[in-house]
Structures are given as structure tokens and as C-alpha cells.
Amino acid sequence: MRGVRFTFPDGSEALRGVDFTIHHGESVGLVGANGAGKSSILLHLAGVYLASEGEVRVGDWPVSRSTLVEVRRRVGLVFQDPDDQLFMPTVFQDVAFGPANQHLPPPEIEQRVGEALAHVGAEHLGQRPSHRLSGGERRAVALATVLALHPDILLLDEPSAGLDPMTRRRLIRWLGSFEHTRIVASHDLDLVLDSCERTLVLAAGRIIADGPTWSLLTDAALLERAGLELPLRLQGSPVTPHR
């Protein structure tokens, strides 16, 4: 992104001049308070929003109306709200939708669906209606719909919200093994610490820090400026003694 500004039609300024470059294979956390602009950045990288000013490039492609097909072939975005991602009658059909749109042969579609559901521990949900799942199950299935596309660049918006501890841990392990580019917007700073080498800290539509995750997420003063706190793991654990 180069000098990216984005203003919603109602006048809300979501991004106020954002600059960064991410290279292939990097794992990058995107952190900041509510409304800081995390989702707006991901939605620009996936070509859902088009910048009001400045330039967004994905690989060799400038993101614009005429390149959306190329951009979306490479970029997989898991939305913050899984209901934005799931719309078919069953989980299987939701996960198969993207690969089917790429005109893959049916046996390969079936294989991709099986693998993607297995990655998120949701094999048993294939025949269920997506809209009748628990919140965490819906989030897992939303992630599977994107994994089935084998994206070069994976964008995750709050992937661990609502996940139980085992499923969250599986997600962290899986993120560590994903060798392509990952960009993870999250309030779960422990997840960012575990799965992202680099972090961008956002405040009010601007990047206020960009560097190694460990050095930024241990900087209490910086986090406070961004409306954040140290990751739980680094806060010490005030154990309440039994009385």
C-alpha cells in the first residue's frame, strides 16, 4: 500500500495515509483498537474496497476494477463476520463453491473440501446447513471456504474470535505451517505473538509502528498509544489465593 486513504460515503475516514510492503511468505499481524482500520486494510488488499487515494498492489497487479479477477485468484479473505462468507444450503456446498467457480474437476473439488474441513476440525459438519451452526463452527467453516481456494495470500480478520481453546491452538499451529503470505488482524495478541513474525500497529487509520512482533508487543507504552494492552501471557498472572 502506498499513501492509501479511504473515506466511506458517509464521510468516515477509515484510512488516513497507509504505507507498507509485505513480501511473499511473511507472516504479519495487524493490531489496533476497534475502528483503527484493520478490516479496512484487509478489504482493500482483497479488492472489496477500492482506495479513495493512493495505490494498492498485490504482486504485479495494481488493485482496480479491471484487475479484480486476477487479484481475487491470489488473495483469500476470511471476513470478520462469518455470515458474510456462508450462503449455500450446506457446509459442503459452501466450501465447494470457490473451487467449483474455478472449474476444477469434481474429484479435486471433493478432495479440497475434505482437506479444508479437516484443517479446521470440521469434517463432521459437511452435510449441516451453514446457518445452523454455532458461532465458532461458522468461523471454522468460513476459514475452510478460503483454504479450499489454495490462496497465495491469506487474509484473516479476527480468526480466533469465538473459537474454543483447542480449535484456537490448532489454528495457531496451522498458521505457523502455512508457507505463503499471511496477514492476521486480531485483538488476540497472544495469537499474533505465536503466529506472526512481523506486526503493524494501527491507530486512527495510520500505521504507528511496523516491526518484529516480539519487540512491538512487549512495548507497553506503544500499545497504550494504540489503545491496547500487553498480550495476556506477558501480563503476569495475578493468582487469587484460596481463602
Residues that bind ligand ATP (CB under 6 A): 8, 10, 12, 14, 32, 34-40, 80
**Smaller CB distance to ligand ATP: residue 161 or 230?**
161
Residue 195 CB, shortest distance to ligand ATP, in Å, is 18
Nearer Cβ to Mg ion (38/168)? 38
40 forms part of the interface with Mg ion (CB under 5 A) = no
The CB density around residue 149, as the number of other CB atoms within 10 Å, is 21
Query: How many Cβ atoms sit within 10 Å of the Cβ of residue 66?
Result: 9
Q: Which of residues 71-100 bind Mg ion (CB under 5 A)?
A: 80
Note whether 74 and 80 are within 8 A (CB).
no
Give CA separation, 193 vs 8, 73, 114, 162, in Å: 32, 29, 30, 18
Q: Could you give the CA distance from residue 26 to residue 201 in angstroms, rounded to a whole number?
A: 16
Applying CB under 5 A, does 39 fall inside the site for Mg ion?
Answer: yes
- What are the Cα distances from residue 36, in Å, to 184, 205, 233? 14, 5, 23
| The three cell numbers locating residue 11 | 464521510
Three cell numbers, residue 42: 484487509
Tell me which of Mg ion, ligand ATP, none is bound by residue 172, counting a contact when its beta carbon lies within the kind-specific cut-off of 5 to 8 angstroms. Answer: none
Q: Which is nearer to ligand ATP, 30 or 96 (CB)?
A: 30
Least distance from C-beta 219 to ligand ATP, angstroms?
19
Range 111-130, binding Mg ion (CB under 5 A): none
Q: Rank residues 43 and 175 by Cβ distance to ligand ATP and give the closer one.
A: 43
Q: Interface with Mg ion by CB under 5 A: which residues?
A: 38-39, 80
